[in-house]
Amino acid sequence: MTTPPPVKGPASYFPSIEKTYGKPVAHWFAVLETVKDLKHMEQVAFLKNEHKLGHGHANALVAYLRAKNG
């Protein structure tokens, strides 16, 4: 039986984000939907300033969601 390849890219941060902030990534995606009209770095700044996420975690969430939504 083969093991799946390790998760790469922004999603690799998800377990750490959930552990650090105590909320599932789906929560953060819902939060980001409230500011979906902002630019990438404006969304990152929103998560950092309003929700106290670290830069890497905020950027990973924004990058993943923007890539998923096109």
Find out whether 61 and 6 touch, Cβ atoms under 8 Å.
no
4 pLDDT more than 90: no
Q: Say what the pLDDT of residue 5 is.
A: 77
12-63 pLDDT, tens digit per residue, is: 999 999 999 999 999 999 999 999 999 999 999 999 999 999 999 999 999 9
Q: Which two tokens stand for residue 40?
A: 């990438």
Q: Say what the pLDDT of residue 6 is.
A: 79
- Please give the distance of CA 38 from its chain centroid, rounded to a whole number: 15
Q: Say what the pLDDT of residue 67 is.
A: 95
1 pLDDT more than 80: no
